[in-house]
Structure 1
């Protein structure tokens, strides 16, 4: 298959390494490159033969593909859609890995033109890669992938295709919204960072770089599970959409209590390398890095979207409100006012209201049409 991967980060390079074994793969990047490249590639610590793939910074050439995979962070996806839109047409598959973050709202024009858009609930791999060193390392692979498409009638077909490409069993989801609302980074990252910084005062410093899951404790797990409960209430309120495939974190991690959740998250080897978002100072101390993706991505393209949907369907969310209040107090960034109206930074998020989806009836129709 003719596939283009956008993004030379951890996930993009891992996808290139896997997919180039059996397909004609192109990597789009503006970083320095030769026209043909290879990677030093490891899969769960085992060296695997690397295939050669094409590299380009020509947008038209990159979009000349049957399948396009976007591995960009959520805050770059609006621009990605605008960049590829002139070059893709009916029959093209465009996938977002992962697919949460409200990307479906940006893609309405593409879908109308006959492009099939799909999103994965979670990334296929936990990976560490480097373009400068031309390395791709897959630390672990998911046992199962979950995908949805718009239009939704193509989900089963795309699931079969991805299973063949990634060699991982892939389940066709009933609703794309099960991708948008999957309890992943916008819950884990924001809850964990809140646990570390909730008592932070300007001028406070940390003596060393902290590791994210080493700092995790039962109070943080309790907060996370309360957030997860609110998300489940939102899903139930969105009937007739069937969101039973938005699996609670209690079930996903087999951890029904805060204590069990703490033990589980601390035991996951692939999580050991995750750092608390800190920046070093000149004197060797550390300060919170409010520009880290745990804030600049997981709030506008996670927490704010979930809160907007909750307001739309009348679900009370005290835990989510605590997160938004905390973020506003620390950074001045505000997506929603206390009365539910749009605040000064609403346009920097992908909240459904920014795309004319302001009531439940229109929202449900968007996903069913």
Structure 2
């Protein structure tokens, strides 16, 4: 009998809950969940596991085999490790798990999503591990929200196509095995892109949240004091001003990606616009696809609420310590501005929003980009971790 494929999910947020539950349903798979809230998750979880509510369907359930806050109990047995934590806290998590990753076989270390320079961050780890094969997914398999810790998560929409990157220098057999395994795990076709830069500069939350937040609470908005009378939805209530800033950020992102393609000598066939990305991924759930503005307002996969906190005197205040603000503007958008400087590409809207964000951001967070290689983009994006392991020993799904 073939042993189950051991997978470790790192992170207990919406995507972590969704991955842990959905992958636990797959035959031939053993899922472990690493979370700093493991004890609360275990106490709250019913016997049948985490309930996953998908639109109008009955909930499906999946229960991880192991739930722990101790990396030593989760990581050593894993052949695939998936990080689902925010980009700006991955460094600390990687430092914790790195020492426990097995060194006697190939281990596929990845992130969902693999934004924020994930490959550069992994390459900065010491000591280097020759058996690590880096990979990452562009975006997420589903939108996920409304987590009840250890009990349930709601999926807002299923992404119809998935793209992954695999570390340069990897054996083609490893790339083929990984792509077929990820396809089986998430039940969708997989496209392997040429470079991790496609994921770092992919359309997604830095564009969407960066533009939406600047339009919502920036200096040209009606809420520049960050105050609101009532809760608010991100997308069904987005203003034309927010959609305008999203479009401007996306144009700069495309220009930045084209500059990176030129410097790295790779083709530009994956330069999707944000509009194209949303429509191609969620087209069955979009009621009006005429413009970016109508797509954002009528995409039923996008149901998230603006992160507001209640204040003592009544009303609400925008939470500048939220993941949408810190990960997507203070970290990811700021990294894009850094990359633009290396590529000598003008990104005035990105720079303006990042500069403004520093005036309202939580003083507890400071973005550090010491993992960005000092000689990039002059050096190739080779992956020193990419393994060429002995053949054999693969566990299939």
- State the TM-score, normalizing by the size of structure 1: 0.86
* 1:26 corresponds to 2:28: no
Larger displacement relative to structure 2 (151-160 or 307-316): 151-160
Provide the rounded CA distance (Å) in 1 between the counterparts of 2:231 and 2:208.
Answer: 19
1:38-187 alignment to 2 at 5 Å?
38-54=49-65, 55-63=67-75, 64-88=77-101, 89=103, 90-108=105-123, 109=125, 112-128=129-145, 130-132=147-149, 134-151=151-168, 153=170, 154-187=174-207
The total of aligned residue pairs comes to 352
Structure 2 equivalent of residue 297 of structure 1: 327
The list of structure 1 runs, each at least 4 consecutive aligned residues, that deviate by more than 6 angstroms after superposition, is none
Q: SS state of the match for residue 325, structure 2?
A: helix
Closer, same or farther in 2 for the Cα pair 1:356/1:17, shift >3 Å? closer
CA RMSD of aligned residues (A): 2.8
Per-residue displacement from partner, 1:176-232 (whole Å, max 9, x unpaired)?
Answer: 111111010011001000001113687563211222223423332222222111111
Point out where structure 2 has 5 or more consecutive residues left out of the alignment.
Answer: 281-288, 387-397
- Contact 2:228–2:317 (8 Å) recurs in 1: yes
Q: SS state of the match for residue 313, structure 2?
A: coil
Q: SS state of the match for residue 104, structure 1?
A: helix
Closer, same or farther in 2 for the Cα pair 1:127/1:254, shift >3 Å? closer
The alpha-carbon deviation at position 28 of structure 1 amounts to 1.6
Q: Which has the higher contact order (CA 8 A, sep 6+)?
A: 2
Provide the rounded CA distance (Å) in 2 between the counterparts of 1:259 and 1:49.
Answer: 34
Provide the rounded CA distance (Å) in 2 between the counterparts of 1:40 and 1:276.
Answer: 24
Q: SS state of the match for residue 47, structure 1?
A: coil
The alpha-carbon deviation at position 366 of structure 1 amounts to 4.2
Closer, same or farther in 2 for the Cα pair 1:354/1:5, shift >3 Å? closer
Closer, same or farther in 2 for the Cα pair 1:360/1:49, shift >3 Å? closer
- State the TM-score, normalizing by the size of structure 2: 0.80
Structure 1 equivalent of residue 257 of structure 2: 235
Closer, same or farther in 2 for the Cα pair 1:188/1:34, shift >3 Å? closer
Provide the rounded CA distance (Å) in 2 between the counterparts of 1:91 and 1:247.
Answer: 33
The alpha-carbon deviation at position 354 of structure 1 amounts to 4.5
Closer, same or farther in 2 for the Cα pair 1:328/1:267, shift >3 Å? same
Closer, same or farther in 2 for the Cα pair 1:190/1:151, shift >3 Å? same
